[in-house]
Amino acid sequence: MSATDHALELDDLRLAYRVRGVDREVLRGVSLRVAPGEAYGLVGESGCGKSTAAYAIMRYLPGNGRITGGHVRIAGRDVTTLSGEELRALRARTVSMVYQDPGQALNPTIRVGPQVAEAFTVLGASRSEANDRALQMLRKVQIADPARVLHRYPHQLSGGMQQRVVIAMALASDPTLLILDEPTTGLDATVEAEVLDLVRTLRSEYGTTVLFISHNLGVIRKMCDRVGVLYAGKLVEEGPAERVFHDPRHPYTVGLLRCIPRRGAKKTARLDTIRGFLPLLGADLPTCVFVDRCGLADERCRTVEPPMIDLGDHATRCHHHERAQELPREEAAATPPAAATGDQPVLRLRNVSKTFRLAGHDVHALVDVSLDLRPGETVGLVGESGSGKTTLARAILGIHAPDDGGGIELDGAPIGATFAERSRAQVSAIQIVFQNPDSALNRRHAVRRIIGRALKKLAGLDGAEAERRILALTEAVRLTPRHLDMRPSQLSGGLKQRVAIARAFAGDPRVVVCDEPTSALDVSVQAAILNLLADLQRDRGVSYVFISHDLGVVRYLSDRIAVLYLGRLMEVGDAESVFSGPHHPYTEALLSAVPSIDGELTTRIRLEGEIPSATDPPAGCVFHTRCPRRLASGICETAEPPLVEVAPGRQMRCHIPLEELRALQGEG
Amino acid sequence: MSALVAPQAPAIDSKKTVRRELLHELLRSKAFLIGSAIVLTWVVCAIFRDFIVTFDPTDDNPFQQHRQPLTDQFLLGTDRLGRDVFSRVVGGARVILLIAPAATIIGTVLGVLLGLVMGYYRGVVDDVLGRLIEALLALPVILVALLALVSIGTGTLIVTFVIGLLFAPVIARTIRAAVLVERDLDYVRAAQLRGERGPYVMLVEILPNVVGPIIVEFTVRLGYAIFTLAGLSFLGFGSQPPSPDWGLMIAEERAVISAGIWWPSIFPAIAIASLVIGVILIADAIQAAFDR
Amino acid sequence: MGRYVLRRFGLAAITLVLLSMIVFLISSVLPGSVGRAILGPFADPQSVALVNEQLGLGGPLWERYFDWVGGAITLDFGDSYQYRGAPVTDFLWDALWRSAKLALLTLLLVVPLAVAGGAMAALRQGRTTDRVISLAGLTLAVTPEFVTGVVLIAVFAVGLGWFPASVPATFSSPFDELRAMVLPAVSLVAVLFGYIARMARAGTLEALAADYTRTATLKGLAWGSVLRRHVLRNALLPTIAVVATQAGYLLGGLLVTETLFNYPGIGRLVYTAAKGRDIPMMMGGVITVGAVFMLLTLLADVLSAWLNPRIRLGTARD
């Protein structure tokens, strides 16, 4: 094949950042080819160089970044040798990009119309022509009322709308190559699904070649024909998406896939992890880049760099590719089930509501939530952003006092509305693990001090006894005493989260609120933290309130699921039945929005529009404005359905009877 | 955006290396080295004044050699009372290097406490103090200082305290902003959720994390303290004659510049400028090092 | 937007009241000394008491405050001690007008220069141009006005004789007046240049590093359009507020500069009042300076809010 046949070709691309006078290699010779019309996915954990590769293709690098070798060819033209003017023309006509965080990518002081029109004027269109085409383009990306949106400022649009505008700009020139860099990261799953659908539709319409960059294997699986797995600046495996995910031939890909809770895995089956840590940026990796973390590594791996081995249309950079899937597990496969737990709820929420006053309006963040949490149980809270998950967690912790008329009971006894009104025992009993360990740990305090202070305040321990307990806790969260004298900046993200978990467990809590505890972590680290949380629960009988936007993770750890929408419980039930159905229409929409690595066919139902404002919730069923299964009778618009028990242990807030939902959702 | 931010040094650094890195960064900065050299020169002048001066800075020259130009005997000439300008300039370092740091320390301690309380408690405390600070900041420091000195009377101690008090609001505003950022981090919430009281959270949890802004603010304010004190002396409301104060020297001798007698005022002017610039160069370098 | 402006006005009013209290309290710390200050150290205590009585210094603090503030609202700041009973206001407006002219000249000189310098430094970040502009700005900003002033006088007035060293009492022509204002203005420009250039540089750097600038560049826009439409537009916003705040420092600088050049503005008025322990005159001058500063800040806030769609249109989404 001649080079001109490829829409994109990276040929041994090498790139380094100069940090304190030293060149640190970030891309270590990446070669890949994308055929015209193909969608190619680049996956990898943070720091593997995938975004760097994207910007290198656009030749847009920070001041200290430099392409040190190799070539980038777009439709046969070598980007690395273009003049400034040629490069500008290339960006205007041939390559476009869609970015993570569309809110930042749009200029806050210019209206949407002129910003989109710019993409046309740069191609030589006149002002008025550009404006007309901007309007057409907004229509193309399925923005409702595009004429109005043209006159909006970016901050007046939702995240999903902003990303549509960015996509509209990117497709303005009908580019040969479209690069999408984590385009849906940070968006709700429902919005993500819509944006991904849009990209697919437009791709089939325009026949654009796509380079799709994501850390999310499910998204890549859904969007891409072929996929490349990047590790430490090197492509370690490449092939058709379906092949790579079902028949991985590199130990890293194998390990990565084992880290993710899939196919309804439960917390009794431990997730596998990848040992060790990502190599430091620009570290010297003369042979196999993965050798230090690989369970299959032998002498040959340490001395001879594996070439890219061709396995038909699939290729891998491993000496032992034929037995990659025999990679030994780092973790035992199964754990003994948890001890039987009591029936008396440890935590009971009774009619908890929370109303905020905001600029003269009442915001109903929580409306009449009643929920029990049994000892040793995990309740997963699920819902889009703005559904009230975080407010509920904060009410439990006593950060927000519930409105009058509702209350929280611990072991059958009512407790103070705020943490300041609670006794030490009550404060110790309910603790939290935060999302971001960087923010949750005081960066000026050593680990010993962080855990020690928690022991003093939560368990009342001092001196030698405290020291003994510090060591015990350290061991329980799989840290070593060596870590105690370190500060958070010396620890990796996963280790930091372990410190935060140790702190939460210092006072032998009954309930731990886990607020997206793994969202800031890479999947391989996430697996270890999920295992740890499961172990601690089994050993200590603690209950979790678990919040995550990742439904796979929620399903893995939760015994029961509570689905929130606009501050109201829409559905509560044990995890298995909530996930297997029949579902509440909202739950159904959430579930069908999740792209699966296994490529299982999900009957997608679309959510219309955006989550309404909690200041002015819709009349009737609050979900009716977006509900795809809204009843024709009109009852959904007028009467709010009660939350009723539809099956043993299963509550739902819907006018449609369970059997009818079962029939509609077409499964048993 | 990850791709555009220059990659940071690896996270695995020990506490000592972090400090060493900071020092290393500073020592590589030309601004810091030049600034330190200037400031050190003046500190040496202040400490070893008596070994450096050739005449007593406040003594009138017995031989009545008024306004002598530069000679071997009078390195920088003499002033209208025949005092040796060189000795006075050297002696002036001691005056300013006593008052300026003292005033800055007073302002910083007060400002940091205010900033912590305002940033941490927010609400009514912040609103009331914030209004007050804004009102004070509507007035140029030198103007309020003048008003206060006229009504209270002047004197070294009073000037020191007035400048310190007037610097507190500016410092408080900076520290408050830093505290607001910290307050939103989860470690503060975690402390509250284990039952820590306000003073503990402010002093033990938050304070160590705002040391950077405090150091930067202290150095910057030190520069402005010298600036403001010199201005007050120039106006006649700082040090009083016969003190070898630089600002005062310029005020006393500036009228005769037009007669071509420039040395009694230009040398103290250079002294003030160099000291302030030296301090500000250090401040700028420290800020740059922290920002990295 | 209306709500925002209203709120800003309300807050400014509160601040102004607090300001008047601060000024009053500071100047009333030792009320008894006023009579003594006027009559001198050898007057008998009865006369001192009588003068204090006549000046209305007898009553309780709050009563005297309301007397003073009541007058101040109607722009009556009482009578000068120094000029035996002449109303402070007679002197104030003339001086304020003179200072305003000097300040305006200074800003006209410094703003375009500093904004251009700051933006240029940002565009050449880390290179020689940046270093020279940044270092010169920093150095000039921290050198006291009277130091630059003395040097300017030595060189341009005494040495070259281009400008007068001291502002004469009357001018033969407007051109003469302008010529007399050049040196004081330049010494103020020197101080302000550094501040404004630094802010313009920081604003430009931030806009250059922003994601929307990346979007504009990768859209294929010519670098000139990227700069004009995306970078400078956003960089200028914060600079407006800074210029207004720096106008406040300018007012402080006037005190020293006007004294040095003998320029009969509000700075020299306050200085002369301070020398003569003329407390009503000082209070009038100081509160006027504070009020003018707050008015400028308010205008700057409203202007930058109006230029920022996020504030102008609120954060509400469709």
Read off the pLDDT band of B107 (50, 70, 90): very high
**Domain-embedded: residue A535:** yes
Q: How many helices (H) and strands (E) does chain C have?
A: 14, 0
Q: Which chain C residue shows the shortest CA-CA distance from B229?
A: C144
* Residue-wise pLDDT tens digits, B42-81: 998 888 877 777 777 666 665 666 777 777 676 777 777 7
The range of the structural domain enclosing residue A634 comes to 579-667
Q: Which chain B residue shows the shortest CA-CA distance from A428?
A: B194
**Domain-embedded: residue B6:** no
pTM given for the model: 0.86
Prior bond to A582 cis, omega within 30?
A: yes
**Domain-embedded: residue B272:** yes
The minimal CB distance from B143 to the residues C18, C255, C279 is found for C255
| Residue ranges in chain A whose pLDDT is less than 50 | 1-3, 668
Interface test with C, best of A74, A79, A85, A118 (most C CBs within 10 A): A118
* Residue-wise pLDDT tens digits, C27-44: 876 544 566 666 666 667
Prior bond to B242 cis, omega within 30?
A: yes
Cβ-defined contact of A110 to C229 (cutoff 8 Å): yes
Cβ-defined contact of A91 to C230 (cutoff 8 Å): no
The minimal CB distance from B187 to the residues A19, A435, A441 is found for A441
Whole-angstrom CA distances from C81 to B63, C34, C36, C52, C275 are 44, 9, 12, 11, 12
**Domain-embedded: residue B147:** yes
**Domain-embedded: residue A261:** yes
Alpha helices in A240-376 (DSSP H): 241-246, 251-259, 299-303
Do residues A503 and A425 share a domain? yes
Alpha helices in C171-278 (DSSP H): 174-209, 211-218, 223-225, 233-261, 266-275
The minimal CB distance from C256 to the residues B234, B260, B272 is found for B234
**Domain-embedded: residue A447:** no
Q: Which chain B residue shows the shortest CA-CA distance from C287?
A: B139
The range of the structural domain enclosing residue B67 comes to 17-291
Averaged pLDDT for residues C131-158? 85
Q: Which chain B residue shows the shortest CA-CA distance from C296?
A: B138
Cβ-defined contact of A60 to C221 (cutoff 8 Å): no
Q: What is the ipTM of this complex?
A: 0.85
Is residue A153 less than 8 Å (CB to CB) from chain C? yes
The minimal CB distance from B3 to the residues A52, A435, A442 is found for A52
- Which pLDDT score is estimated for B196? 92
Separation between Cα atoms, residue A311 and residue A324, nearest integer Å: 13
CATH of the domain at A408: 3.40.50.300
CB B182 within 8 A of CB B201: no
Element (H, E) at A367: strand A361-373
Separation between Cα atoms, residue A558 and residue A569, nearest integer Å: 17
CB C102 within 8 A of CB C180: no
* Residue-wise pLDDT tens digits, C87-120: 888 888 888 988 988 988 998 999 899 999 999 9
- Which pLDDT score is estimated for A342? 67
Element (H, E) at C297: helix C279-307
The region of weakest confidence among A359-368, B250-259, C187-196 is: B250-259
* HEC letters along C18-49: HHHHHHHHHHCCCCCHHHHHHHCCCCCHHHHH
Do residues A558 and A509 share a domain? yes
**Domain-embedded: residue B191:** yes
pLDDT at C216 exceeding the cut of 90: yes
Tell me the nearest-neighbour CA distance from A486 into chain B, angstroms.
7
- The mean of the pLDDT values for chain C is 83
Whole-angstrom CA distances from B212 to A438, B203, B233 are 18, 15, 32
Do residues A500 and A357 share a domain? yes
The chains found to touch A (3+ Cβ pairs under 8 angstroms) are B, C
pLDDT at B144 exceeding the cut of 50: yes
The minimal CB distance from C310 to the residues A88, A90, A155 is found for A155
pLDDT at C276 exceeding the cut of 90: no
The minimal CB distance from A155 to the residues C219, C229, C315 is found for C315
The minimal CB distance from B7 to the residues A24, A434, A490 is found for A24
**Domain-embedded: residue B10:** no
Q: Which chain B residue shows the shortest CA-CA distance from C268?
A: B235
Tell me the nearest-neighbour CA distance from A581 into chain B, angstroms.
37
Q: Report A:110-149 residues touching C (Cβ under 8 A).
A: 110, 118-119, 122, 148-149
Tell me the nearest-neighbour CA distance from B124 into chain A, angstroms.
17
CB A546 within 8 A of CB A555: no
Residues of B in contact with A46 (CB under 8 A): 2
Domain count, chain B: 1
- Report phi then psi at B124, rounded to 5: -65, -45
Cβ-defined contact of C293 to B280 (cutoff 8 Å): no
Tell me the nearest-neighbour CA distance from B127 into chain C, angstroms.
10
CB C157 within 8 A of CB C163: yes
CB A391 within 8 A of CB A363: no
Instruction: Give the other-Cβ count within 10 Å of B226's Cβ.
Output: 28
- Which pLDDT score is estimated for B29? 85
β-bridge partners, A560: A379, A574
- The mean of the pLDDT values for chain A is 89
Tell me the nearest-neighbour CA distance from A73 into chain C, angstroms.
17
CB A178 within 8 A of CB A209: yes
Do residues A404 and A436 share a domain? yes
Whole-angstrom CA distances from A244 to A313, A314, A601, A663, B45 are 10, 8, 18, 36, 74
Structure tokens at A536: 């601690």
Instruction: Give the other-Cβ count within 10 Å of C120's Cβ.
Output: 16
Q: How many CB pairs under 8 A join A and B?
A: 98
Element (H, E) at A235: strand A234-240
Identify the structural domains of chain C with CATH numbers, from first to last: 2-73 (no CATH), 95-316 (1.10.3720.10)
**Domain-embedded: residue B7:** no
- Report phi then psi at A482, rounded to 5: -55, -35
Element (H, E) at C307: helix C279-307
- Which pLDDT score is estimated for C42? 67
Residues of B in contact with A230 (CB under 8 A): none
Rg, Å, chain C Cα set: 24
Structure tokens at C24: 């009053």
With CA atoms as reference, report the closest residue to A360 among A71, A100, A615: A615
Separation between Cα atoms, residue A463 and residue A228, nearest integer Å: 54
Separation between Cα atoms, residue A262 and residue C178, nearest integer Å: 80
Do residues A276 and A312 share a domain? yes
Is residue A169 less than 8 Å (CB to CB) from chain C? yes
Separation between Cα atoms, residue C162 and residue B150, nearest integer Å: 37
Whole-angstrom CA distances from A8 to A4, A27, A172, A230, A232 are 9, 17, 20, 17, 22
User: At a CB cut-off of 8 Å and minimum separation 6, what does B177 contact?
Assistant: B119
* Residue-wise pLDDT tens digits, B272-288: 889 999 998 999 888 88
Tell me the nearest-neighbour CA distance from B204 into chain A, angstroms.
9
With CA atoms as reference, report the closest residue to A135 among A153, A120, A157, A155: A120
Q: Report B:18-77 residues touching A (Cβ under 8 A).
A: 18
Residues of B in contact with A61 (CB under 8 A): 3
Residues of C in contact with B149 (CB under 8 A): 274
Separation between Cα atoms, residue B216 and residue B283, nearest integer Å: 6
**Domain-embedded: residue A522:** yes
The minimal CB distance from C143 to the residues B149, B247, B276 is found for B276
- Which pLDDT score is estimated for C138? 85
Structure tokens at C304: 């930058």
Q: Which chain C residue shows the shortest CA-CA distance from A88?
A: C220
**Domain-embedded: residue A111:** no
DSSP for A406-459?
Answer: -EEEETTEE--SSGGGS-HHHHHHEEEE-S-HHHHS-TTS-HHHHHHHHIIIII
Q: Which chain C residue shows the shortest CA-CA distance from A87?
A: C220
Do residues A645 and A551 share a domain? no
Tell me the nearest-neighbour CA distance from B221 into chain C, angstroms.
11
The minimal CB distance from A457 to the residues B7, B8, B196 is found for B196
Q: Which chain C residue shows the shortest CA-CA distance from A117?
A: C219
With CA atoms as reference, report the closest residue to A116 among A160, A158, A167: A167
CATH of the domain at B63: 1.10.3720.10
Domain count, chain A: 3
- Which pLDDT score is estimated for B5? 36
Do residues A364 and A427 share a domain? yes
Element (H, E) at A13: strand A8-19
Tell me the nearest-neighbour CA distance from A158 into chain B, angstroms.
20
**Domain-embedded: residue B254:** yes
**Domain-embedded: residue B58:** yes
Q: Which chain B residue shows the shortest CA-CA distance from C156?
A: B258
